[in-house]
Structure 1
Amino acid sequence: MIKTQHKQLIYFIILMGVVNLFADMTHEGARSIYGAYLSFQGLTAAQIGFVTGVGEFIGYGLRLISGNIVDRTQRYWPAMTIGFVINVLSVPALVFCNRQGWLLACVLIISERAGRAIRLPANNTMLSFAGSQMGNGRAFALEEFLDSIGSFLGPVYLYLIMTLGVTATTNYQALFAWLIVPAILTLVALMFAHQQFPRPEKFEPDKVTTGQTKIDGNTWLYVIGIVSFALGFMDFPIITMHIQRLNLVSNINLPLLYALAMIIGAIATLVFGGAYDRWGIKVLSWSTLLAAPFSGFIFLSHHLSVILIGIVLWGIGMGAQESLMEAIVGAMVARRQRARAFGFFDMVFGIAWFIGSWLLGLLYDWSLPIMVICSVALQLVAASCYLIINWRTTKMGAA
């Protein structure tokens, strides 16, 4: 009986991961060329940072509303369906943006993030039901691993389309049109997962009461930590724009840089996710410290080999943060408030990401060394917060 349930848990998580894999192929494939595309449309670094920052703000901030609705209604699959439809179909819709259509392009880029915001609290809450039985670290790591594989395949998919001569490297409309394929696969996989597991909340019995219902000092420290991380961890379009300006990589190879970051993130997700179930939140401080100097490697060097080291560190930091942040919230909050909690923490993270992307874009145009110093300092603040939480938790446990 236990083995059967464990197999069902793994099957459910893999199905959810496959849905997210195809979704990430769609929107992360597009994100690998957003920087070059918006620069082609005539936007500056600050403007690109502002647009992508607004997208992340909407993509995280809207989750508080979505999470509240999901907690009240307990209707997980409808929220997932609406969110995925908006999320994945906004990308191929970019085919309708011509050379002067930068405003519509920005709206669609932001709406893609909004769709993601609608679906993720429900997605993460359903995963937490499975995680309550097999460990949140492993559950979220497995799903995030498949998610990251999709993030890797999306840019590679566009790269193959360009290298096979299907479309020119600067024909962005055609590239976005080709992303309709993984978008459709996302919706097909979603319908199949819904059919197989119509009531995923049954994985976590009502008698399971793990998690707290009030905010304490450690919770606020955790908020400070994720805010600091988000403020100092710029969006990848700024990185691709910088590399394009240095003329170190041709347009056809730009998606491969994002693919590299995503595959590194996938590996980091599995490593740090499993470690979290064993050692707790201090694992998040390890990944943050490891990734902290990424901006120095990327923005203070003109050598591609050094920049690639920075991209690897960026992938480690982002992969670990995305999986562990959700796993920690899933373990921290009681079941019936979990979607709301996911939404709250994501909203806070999104506001910080928006402000950070915009300000780091402004600093990029003003002074690269100062931008790097600010980025590294904020990562160190985040790691310090996680270490303090771990110390407090260990001290309370010993007492």
Structure 2
Amino acid sequence: MRTTSNALNFVILLGIVSLCADATYEGGRSIAGAYLNVLGASGAIVGLVAGAGELIGYTLRLVTGYLSDRTQQYWGITTLGYGINTLAIPLLALTGRWETAAALLIAERAGRAVRSPPRDVLLSHAATQVGRGFGFGLHEALDQIGAVAGPLTVAGVLAWQQSYQQSFAILLVPALIGLGVLLVTQRRYPNPREFETKTVELTGTGLPRRFWIYLAGVMLIAFGFADFPLIAFHWQNTGLTQTTNIPLFYAVAMAMDAIAALILGRLFDRNGIVVFVFAVVLSALFAPLTFLGSPPLALLGMALWGIGMGAQESIMKAIVAAMVPTLQRGSAFGIFYLCYGLAWFLGSALMGLLYDRSVTLVVGFSVAFQLAAVPVIISVIRQ
């Protein structure tokens, strides 16, 4: 029988892997657009590469989630995904053509898609010992440390060496550390399913009805959650704050993401899905503050935006793990990621169109769809 301390160690080790992976690919993505420009790519190509990467990524999650359940090769698929996800970025240091760089950037998104569903299944087993909310929350907090450290490291190397190649090359260090920790974790815990002494029982065929109802609520949230590039574009367009302050506002959001993931995770373990409802209502207020407020209110809005992201990256996934049978969890996470990503993409595109007409329309759209998710999620609680 696996102990709670072993389960906690497992969550921390997977969190360190994600920290290193995030440092690698977020560091690379922070300068990828500028690097493609240097290599001669047009703005249309940059947009196409970004869109194709996300589309392939979210679609592939459905496939790898299903395959991981069918083959039970959760570790193997996770390791393959992390390898592609992290090694593609340092290889950008060897590129001299935008076509090659574009292929590597798309490969990075594909690798992230390959490893996400099976990784979350592995994490869900250990989270039953330490608390699902806390387990996913701790993992997200460690993940966000890497998301902040990577771009800062790249910015420092770029300012020091004035070289994109060296900035990408330095990211080989966290990539190799992360892969090393992953292999050690796999060897130490070959069967994380042993952590889960109680499993969700399935009373019929297919995923339970409450999963699909919950997924509808999640899609409403994603549909109305404004992406940061649109917020940053608005600030740049209106001169709300200096351009150099925009990354600092984003850093505040990332810090709140990590803190919220830990706190909300603990509260979720004690009080259930009602904590997620509270987080949705609270974070919905970010839209009027960031789009219509003064600089101090916009900063507060970014803090609320970070709380929303922290909830989505921790307890939103913990709820999936709690309501889905063990042997179908990979497929459930794959479906979850696909629907969430498509809703986010469509909502972001529509908010971009609305922005050209009226900022107030964007705010109303964002708040309305996020709050519309509340009664849907409450109906899951009643079940």
TM-score, normalized by the shorter chain, greater than 0.5: yes
Partners of 1:378 and 1:30 lie apart in 2 by 33
Indicate which of 272, 277, 290 corresponds to 1:285: 277
Indicate which of 342, 345, 354 corresponds to 2:336: 345
Higher mean displacement: 15-24 or 218-227 = 218-227
1:313 aligns with 2:318: no
Partners of 2:192 and 2:133 lie apart in 1 by 18
**How do 1:111-150 residues align onto structure 2 when only pairs under 5 Å count?**
111-150=107-146
> Partner letter of residue 113 of structure 1?
R
1:157 aligns with 2:161: no
TM-score w.r.t. structure 2 length? 0.87
Indicate which of 160, 163, 175 corresponds to 1:166: 160
**How do 1:295-334 residues align onto structure 2 when only pairs under 5 Å count?**
295-301=287-293, 303-334=294-325
Q: Residue 166 of structure 1 aligns to a residue in which SS?
A: helix
Q: 2:187 maps to what in 1?
A: 195
Give ranges in structure 2 of 5+ residues lacking alignment. none
| 8 Å CA contact retained: 1:71, 1:339 | yes
Task: Please report how far the alpha carbon of residue 264 of structure 1 lies from its aligned counterpart in structure 2 after TM superposition.
Answer: 0.8
Partners of 2:125 and 2:140 lie apart in 1 by 16
1:65 aligns with 2:63: yes
Q: Give RMSD over aligned pairs.
A: 3.0
| 8 Å CA contact retained: 1:35, 1:240 | no
TM-score w.r.t. structure 1 length? 0.84
| Deviations, residues 34-77 of structure 1 (Å, cap 9, x unaligned) | 67778996638xx85x7645443433331111011111111122
Q: Residue 210 of structure 1 aligns to a residue in which SS?
A: coil
Partners of 1:76 and 1:180 lie apart in 2 by 25
Higher mean displacement: 379-388 or 35-44 = 35-44
Partners of 2:152 and 2:325 lie apart in 1 by 40
| 8 Å CA contact retained: 2:207, 2:328 | no
Give ranges in structure 1 of 5+ residues lacking alignment. 394-399
Aligned length: 378
Task: Please report how far the alpha carbon of residue 31 of structure 1 lies from its aligned counterpart in structure 2 after TM superposition.
Answer: 4.3
Q: Residue 3 of structure 2 aligns to a residue in which SS?
A: helix
Task: Please report how far the alpha carbon of residue 286 of structure 1 lies from its aligned counterpart in structure 2 after TM superposition.
Answer: 0.9
Indicate which of 63, 86, 89 corresponds to 2:87: 89
| 8 Å CA contact retained: 1:52, 1:354 | no
Q: 1:210 maps to what in 2?
A: 200
Cα 1:27/1:365, change in 2 over 3 Å: farther
| 8 Å CA contact retained: 2:68, 2:74 | yes
> Partner letter of residue 71 of structure 2?
T
Partners of 2:68 and 2:174 lie apart in 1 by 27
Task: Please report how far the alpha carbon of residue 222 of structure 1 lies from its aligned counterpart in structure 2 after TM superposition.
Answer: 0.9
Q: Residue 301 of structure 2 aligns to a residue in which SS?
A: helix
| Deviations, residues 163-216 of structure 1 (Å, cap 9, x unaligned) | xx3145xx66654444333222222221222222222222225xx332436445
Q: 1:229 maps to what in 2?
A: 221
Higher mean displacement: 152-161 or 8-17 = 152-161
Partners of 2:5 and 2:223 lie apart in 1 by 40
| Deviations, residues 257-311 of structure 1 (Å, cap 9, x unaligned) | 433222110110011111111111121111111111323322334x433322222
Partners of 1:314 and 1:97 lie apart in 2 by 36
Cα 1:380/1:36, change in 2 over 3 Å: farther
| Deviations, residues 235-265 of structure 1 (Å, cap 9, x unaligned) | 33333444445563445x6544433222110
Q: Residue 63 of structure 1 aligns to a residue in which SS?
A: helix
Cα 1:246/1:194, change in 2 over 3 Å: farther
| 8 Å CA contact retained: 2:61, 2:334 | yes
> Partner letter of residue 304 of structure 1?
P
Q: 1:396 maps to what in 2?
A: none
Q: 1:376 maps to what in 2?
A: 367
Task: Please report how far the alpha carbon of residue 374 of structure 1 lies from its aligned counterpart in structure 2 after TM superposition.
Answer: 1.3
Q: 1:397 maps to what in 2?
A: none
Sequence identity, in percent? Answer: 44
| 8 Å CA contact retained: 1:58, 1:350 | no
Task: Please report how far the alpha carbon of residue 376 of structure 1 lies from its aligned counterpart in structure 2 after TM superposition.
Answer: 1.5
Indicate the structure whose relative CO is greater, using CA pairs within 8 Å and at least 6 residues apart: 1
Cα 1:187/1:249, change in 2 over 3 Å: farther
